[in-house]
Amino acid sequence: MSLEPLFVDVGATLENAGGFLQYVLVFVFAAIPLLEILVVIPVGIGLGLDPMATGALAFAGNVASVYVLIYFHRRISNWRRDRRSADETDSSDRFERARGLWERYGLPGIAIGGPILTGVHIAALVALLAGSSERTVAGWMTVGIGLWAALLVAGSVLGVSLLGVA
């Protein structure tokens, strides 16, 4: 699957929005799986948006969507636990794959590599399914998203200055 159409659609939408709405869209697009900060930050900065505002809003949108995922995971887990019979087990293929990822990389590895490897939403879900506490997952995911947001802002600013774009 090529990400090129995502870059074009995000770029065109941001460019056509103008003004304050561009920054609102940065926040919203960063919260959407597949777009996230990896697409939104370089596109926004490439279009000439303020790098610090773009990075901060993209970070906030991405983190907010992960926190929403964590909140709903808790509610769904409680609902499933209340309805599950005592002899049911959760041994699906997906759970086993998630457990394997968890055992191989641990929470810090998944949180920091998540934006590149799987996307932050899947990385958070893997960590939650592997049994990590919600607070720990939220903390590590925030660190990982913050690290990538800072690197993407710096790389995008450098790229724009070297290419003379915007």
Span 29-56, pLDDT tens digits: 999 988 889 999 999 999 999 999 999 9
| Cα distance between residue 123 and residue 111, in whole Å | 6
| Cα distance between residue 127 and residue 51, in whole Å | 31
Who's near 23: CB < 8 A, 6+ residues apart?
A: 49, 53, 54, 57
- Supply 6's token pair: 């995502």
Going from N- to C-terminal start, the domains of the chain cover 4-163
Residue length, the chain?
A: 166
| Cα distance between residue 14 and residue 123, in whole Å | 27
Per residue in 87-142, pLDDT (tens digit) is: 455 556 655 655 666 677 788 888 888 888 788 888 898 888 888 889 999 999 99
pTM of the model: 0.79
